[in-house]
């Protein structure tokens, strides 16, 4: 029984479509594996940063942590947080991220802020460099062993209840907000 021309063409076209679908599925799978590999590398890097921070954090001491409303200068009326970071370890810390928690009377976190104390301080001496975005990068202080670094940062997106408590000063009305005035801090990421 002879095979008709039409049947041969249908068979060839069907085979070509099936082969094309298989190739596209294989290419899609390889792209997915590549994407997942990059995602895994990023996730692994973040976990490694957190592990380094936890191990070395016993050598990072955060003291004189204070939150207040600035009374003078260009930051007048803004909520700021300031403190001192000390490196008690043997390594230089090139990059550090600190998380500060604002606690209520039951020691539950009601607000947290991330700080990078090595970036230039706010309200400090005027900058003498011309800031050209693509040429100039502000200098970051390297925290050397047994060295202290004072920092002062503005609190962006400060919750109203904390802002009101800070504005009241020494005699806050504890009926308005939940914040008890307590702060805790920890280093969450660092690099050497």
Amino acid 18: pLDDT: 95
Within 8 A by CB and 6+ apart from 81, the residues are 65, 66, 67, 100, 113, 115, 152, 153, 155
Place of tokens 């298989």: 22
Task: Inform me whether the pLDDT recorded for 19 exceeds 90.
Answer: yes
Q: What is the pTM of this model?
A: 0.63
Neighbour count for residue 31 (Cβ, 10 Å)? 10
Task: Inform me whether the pLDDT recorded for 124 exceeds 70.
Answer: no
Architecture of domain 60-191: Sandwich (2.60)
Q: What kind and span of H or E run contains 83?
A: strand 79-87
DSSP conformation class of 126: P
Amino acid 135: pLDDT: 53
**How far apart, in Å, are the Cα atoms of 173 and each of 64, 95, 103?**
24, 38, 16
Q: What is the pLDDT of residues 78-123, one digit of tens each?
A: 888 889 999 998 888 888 888 999 888 888 888 898 888 877 765 4
**How far apart, in Å, are the Cα atoms of 91 and each of 47, 146, 168?**
20, 9, 42
């Amino acid at each position: 029984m002879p095979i008709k021309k039409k049947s041969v063409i249908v068979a060839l076209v069907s085979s070509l479509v099936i082969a094309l679908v298989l190739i596209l599925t294989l290419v899609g799978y390889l792209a997915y594996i590549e994407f997942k590999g990059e995602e895994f590398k990023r996730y692994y890097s973040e976990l490694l940063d957190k592990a380094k921070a936890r191990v070395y954090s016993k050598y990072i001491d955060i003291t004189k942590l204070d939150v207040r409303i600035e009374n003078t200068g260009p930051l007048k009326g803004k909520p700021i947080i300031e403190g001192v970071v000390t490196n008690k370890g043997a390594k230089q810390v090139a990059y550090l991220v600190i998380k500060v928690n604002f606690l209520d009377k039951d020691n539950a976190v009601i607000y947290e802020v991330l700080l990078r104390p090595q970036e230039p301080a706010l309200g400090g001496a005027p900058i003498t460099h011309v800031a050209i975005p693509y040429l100039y990068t502000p200098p970051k202080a390297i925290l050397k062993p047994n060295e202290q670094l004072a920092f002062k940062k503005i609190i962006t997106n400060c919750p109203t209840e904390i802002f009101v408590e800070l504005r009241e000063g020494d005699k806050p009305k504890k009926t308005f907000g939940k914040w008890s005035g307590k702060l805790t801090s920890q280093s969450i990421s660092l690099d050497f």
